[in-house]
Amino acid sequence: MNLTILITAMQFFIFNLFGTAESSGPKDFAVVKPFSISRYAGQWYEIARMDFRFEKNLSNVTADYTLNTNGTIKVVNRGFDYTKKVWKEAVGKAKFSGNPYEARLKVSFFGPFYAAYNVIALDSDYRYALVAGKNTGYLWILSREITIPDEIKNSYLKIASDLGFDTSVLTWTAQKKE
């Protein structure tokens, strides 16, 4: 399967997963504010995730965020499918769901269809992030490095658990230096 077909298949899956409505996530998820997208931009390593079909069997997962001149954010998600021995990549865009100083965004990998991207915890140096999707079925722990200190990990797990996420189902992403 070539990369174009793979990306199209991933986009179709995202469309079916998130539906057609623009989604910003539950309003009861408090998001980080104030938030600086310019500080958040750059590369993040996925430390853990609530697994779903799109990310199944992926290791070395990264997310790269680049500011576009029109105010949107280019999103490049990449990971290695260790069962098929191939790299997968999806390119999309994100934009704010409202106030650009609040970390409530929406991301699209398929045309006008958006999914929630809510930064619900972030350290002051923008090195570690806890991100929720549209409900308690979508959660990611991100880091600027391939590891995360235990105290940050434990703090983020408690925050997620207190919000109703089942952290026992998290998949811990294998990361290796390239």
* CATH number, domain with residue 132: 2.40.128.20
CB-CB contact of 141 with 156 (8 Å): yes
Confidence of residue 28 (pLDDT cuts 50, 70, 90): low
For residue 20, is pLDDT > 60?
no
Compute the distance between CA of residue 6 and CA of residue 1 in angstroms, rounded to an integer. Answer: 6
Compute the distance between CA of residue 104 and CA of residue 101 in angstroms, rounded to an integer. Answer: 9
73, part of any domain: yes
Question: Rounded to 5 degrees, what angle do the CA atoms 80, 114, 49 make?
Answer: 40
Q: Please give the pLDDT value at position 54.
A: 79
For residue 107, is pLDDT > 90?
yes
48, part of any domain: yes
CB-CB contact of 74 with 89 (8 Å): no
Compute the distance between CA of residue 63 and CA of residue 142 in angstroms, rounded to an integer. Answer: 9
137, part of any domain: yes
Q: Which pair of structure tokens corresponds to residue 128? A: 């570690």
Q: Please give the pLDDT value at position 55.
A: 87
For residue 12, is pLDDT > 60?
no
For residue 16, is pLDDT > 60?
no
Number of neighbours of residue 6 by Cβ within 10 angstroms: 16
When divided into structural domains, the chain yields a total of 1
Compute the distance between CA of residue 66 and CA of residue 117 in angstroms, rounded to an integer. Answer: 15
Q: Which pair of structure tokens corresponds to residue 68? A: 């576009």
Structural domain containing residue 124: 3-172
Q: Mean pLDDT, to the nearest integer, of 69-90?
A: 95
Higher pLDDT among residues 131 and 2, named by residue: 131
Q: Please give the pLDDT value at position 53.
A: 77
**Which residue type sits at 49?**
R
